[in-house]
A and B are shown apart, each in its own frame.
Chain A
Amino acid sequence: MQGSKKAAGFLALLLGTVLLTACPSQTNISKINADPDRYRGKEVGIAGRVTNSYGAMGTGAYEIDDGTGRIWVVATKHGVPSRGSQVGAKGYVRNGFNFNGRNYGTVVEETDRRTRGR
């Protein structure tokens, strides 16, 4: 009995650790922009309104404003959302990024997205 409790506890701890490390940290854009080195290569989740977007053939970039700041998100799989949409994006922070002939300082390289709106 004591042993199975310990095993269940260990399992819960392990599961919690796996879930916590698997989920990107939800953050606000001003924090990323204020300390880009800290977030470099980290997976983050951001949410806000699309203020700018361009792209074609399933790739492109869009800019999210979450009320604290703006950041460009580079999308290579799912196309780009239209301007005015509310999106939640998940991806890796990259510093110094060249994409489609444009130079970005800090971007999020998108891995997943949820869109609401247009």
Chain B
Amino acid sequence: MLVSALDRAFVDSIDSLKAIARSVDPALLYQRANDLSVGEQILRSAAVIEQTFGGLTANLWDDPFEWTLPETLATSESIVAYLAEVDSIRERAFSSIDGDQALTRYVAVPSGESKTLIELLLETLVRASEYRGRAVAMLAITKGRKEESQKAQREPGDFTV
């Protein structure tokens, strides 16, 4: 069923965000590279998912911005705990979607337009994936920088500008 496949895709997305959060060095979590950080990209990805499923379950489409600030979720553990909350909202939302037929129903979103449920879920998945992709890229960049600086400290003579 299509609903199950979509649900699985969101579960995988959230699990992947948890894995990134757990793998990042605490010192690099909010370290910025090109104005972005791993932690912020994880939170943005999760916030996209939370906003959609919050809208579907409670008809409140508040942007989770306020409670997903780096100051509020300062550590990997707190991010993982937040992701678990997002996952429970996801579970609640999907339990109310009764089969593939329900994916064709229309949902009013805060912009005032109506979208079919499948359109909304796919858009959410794409947006969440974009931020997740950036998080992965930031992780690679910050790790690379750290390794470079460690290498430079070990071999100061070899470092050329």
Q: Which residues in A have some Cβ–Cβ distance to B below 8 Å? A: 33-37, 40, 63, 70-72, 95-98, 102-107
Q: In the complex, A72 Cα to B54 Cα: how many Å?
A: 14
* Docked-complex contact B59 and A95, CB < 8 angstroms: no
Interface residues of B in 23-72 (CB under 8 A from A): 55, 59-63
Contact A105–B62 (Cβ < 8 Å)? no
Instruction: Choose, from B5-13, B14-22, B110-118, B141-149, the stretch at the interface.
Output: B110-118
Number of A-B contacts (CB under 8 A): 51
Given A34-B105, A35-B106, A96-B108, A102-B114 contact (CB < 8 Å): no
Q: Tell me whether A95 and B60 are in contact in the complex, defined as CB-CB below 8 angstroms, given that A36-B114, A105-B55 are known contacts.
A: no
Q: A72-B59, A103-B63 are in contact. Are A98 and B110 (CB under 8 A)?
A: yes
The 9 closest A-B pairs by CB, nearest first: A96-B112, A95-B108, A36-B108, A103-B110, A103-B61, A105-B108, A106-B108, A37-B114, A96-B110
A72 contact set on B, CB distance < 8 A = 59-60
Q: B102: nearest residue on chain A (CB-CB)?
A: A34
Q: Is B93 an interface residue (CB 8 A)?
A: no
**Residue of chain B at shortest CB distance from A69:** B59
| Residue tally, chain B, CB below 8 Å to A | 16
The interface of chain B, by Cβ under 8 A from chain A, is: 55, 59-63, 105-114
| Dominant SS among interface residues on chain A | strand
Q: Give chain B's interface secondary structure class.
A: loop
Residue in B60, B107, B108, B110 whose Cβ sees the most chain A Cβ within 10 Å = B108
Would A106 and B59 count as touching, CB distance under 8 A?
A: yes
Question: Is the Cβ of A103 less than 8 Å from the Cβ of B62?
Answer: yes
Q: Which residues of B contact A71 (CB under 8 A)?
A: 59
In the assembled complex, which residues on chain B have CB atoms less than 8 Å from the CB atom of A104? Answer: 59-61, 110
A36–B113 Cα gap in the complex (Å)?
A: 9
Count chain B CB atoms within 10 A of each CB in A34, A95, A97 and give the residue with the most: A95
Chain A residues positioned under 8 Å from B112 (CB to CB): 95-96
16 CB contacts below 8 A, A to B, read A33-B59, A34-B106, A35-B105, A36-B114, A37-B106, A37-B108, A40-B108, A96-B108, A96-B109, A96-B110, A102-B62, A103-B61, A103-B110, A104-B60, A105-B55, A107-B59
